[in-house]
A and B are shown apart, each in its own frame.
Chain A
């Protein structure tokens, strides 16, 4: 186990180095004037001023010199400037994290739970009607483009029925949240409202979250369902389950105590991956529902060709993913001894 962790920790810097190389390779497609956003908030329009900046920050230097200069900046937290965020990329990321994290958190908890429950039901009724129905629903789920699903939700429940609002908060609620009497501990409206004991704000925030949460999770629970199902099917055929049954244990005990714990190990890994992939869904969902979070910012930056912001965020997120993967893998090795022995 220790050797495994050490091996993975040794590889980690290599992967992160590779990630920076890939990001910088993409950056080198830009011309020097576009790369100037790395160092100055706004590119001046005056004659010769751009050339001065290119000269000053060495944006015409040989590529490897530029790479190490950029890497040095990145290691000091300097990812450049965002035009859409009107601040440095890192500050913009910090500003938009709470909204996205809140959305992802409220989506992740129910989706993993529901996915596992349905997967177990599917496996226990293998090839019966309920299994087939859930299978078709799962396939429809991952065939549904997030933006089509989200826009349909908006069309039906917001534009037509007017059950749920769009955005993050109603006007009256955002005035309260921004007032000095309301302490913003986390930036997440639901959590802050609870900490401030304002149930009306909490309810308002939840009402705004329901449609985006459904949109973000519908596409993903299908995956958890399918993985739980196939892993459960495999375990149910294992010898130790047969042994447990032949000992005369009740079917409930066999499933809950013997089958489920082992069947859920791969589900844990996939759940980790789903959290990572969720970012793609967050970009689309936030754009559709006009929630000003990381995803909305990335999508607007990309469509306004504010490339330095997009690259900065990609770098930030990729490092997060690589470290997250490490944690998931170590957890997996801890849960499943077979991995350690390899």
Chain B
């Protein structure tokens, strides 16, 4: 007796000859990363991105060595050196200087890398999961479910992303239920998933009418099984890879919330929060450049690293553009 799984696979292999080739190739190129990584290492642009991201990974891992915390139980509290209002320039004791209130900028930049990864990775995973659930449900079932879910997506898309996040962060912040970091993350997650839902729905729609999906359905495979075994690997994997590179843009938006006083609280090791100190010293910012330049460079390089990799991925995974390159 042929096992269900074998029959399913044989059917999939039989029924999609030429039409599935590009998708299969894409999937293969992701399943065997060496090829993709080889291409990315050859390109100076994506290589720069990889180096930048690895640098921040190293900083985040080595944070306790690079900037040993004074109180190990609370490593994200930036140590203070007195309470003087005026920022102090870089010195032997404070490599990057201090902000007003004498928070050590070097310490904040180093430990801020950990905050950035934590915030960016958590938001990215959460938004992709929500987008995946909504997008696949809408695309796979179609009909009224699709109509309804897409209207919900449109409602959420009516709000420009940062403005929506500011609104929700202010709402949640007015009656504190969570700490401030969590509040900022919830705000970004709530309005961040919509693009993925839309893209994934489109991917699903293009795959679901293919013969091998029909065949699996005829064989009596359950909805969940068809999704996991046939639709997801064949359609939305490239989208997911590209989406995972959005870590940079979430870190950027979280920093903007912190800058406006809606993300991390003062004294927390977070880049946006450090820069918000610069707002009070605008007219003499030329003298207090270190409040802006060090944390600002950290954000820019972090986001740039992810975007450079994401851009290269997009090129490799987008068959339309790849064809043109020959």
Contacts and interface: CB of A to CB of B under 8 A. Distances in A.
B192 to A, nearest CB: 13
Contacts of B158: 15, 19, 318-319, 321-322, 325
Interface in B298-326: 299-300, 303-304, 307-308, 311, 320-321, 324-325
B171 A29 contact: yes
Interface residues of A, number: 65
A197 interface: no
B282 interface: yes
B324 A126 contact: yes
Contacts of A298: 163, 166
Interface string B243-266: 000001100100110011110000
B170, B259, B282, most chain A CB atoms within 10 A: B170
Nearest to B259: A147
A196 interface: no
B65 interface: no
A302 B262 contact: yes
Contact of A159 (B282, B299, B303, B320): B282
B174, B289, B292, most chain A CB atoms within 10 A: B174
B34 interface: no
Contact of A318 (B159, B252, B292): B159
A26 to B, nearest CB: 5
- The bracket for how many chain B residues form the interface is 35 or more
Interface string A308-319: 001100100111
A255 interface: no
Interface stretch (B107-115, B148-156, B217-225, B226-234): B148-156
A15 B45 contact: no
Contacts of A311: 167, 171
Given A15-B158, A31-B175, A135-B45, A151 B163 contact: no
Contacts of A31: 175
Given A11-B151, A148-B299, A288-B279, 14 more contacts: A15-B154, A15-B155, A29-B171, A34-B174, A139-B307, A139-B311, A143-B252, A148-B296, A159-B284, A159-B286, A302-B261, A305-B174, A310-B170, A322-B158
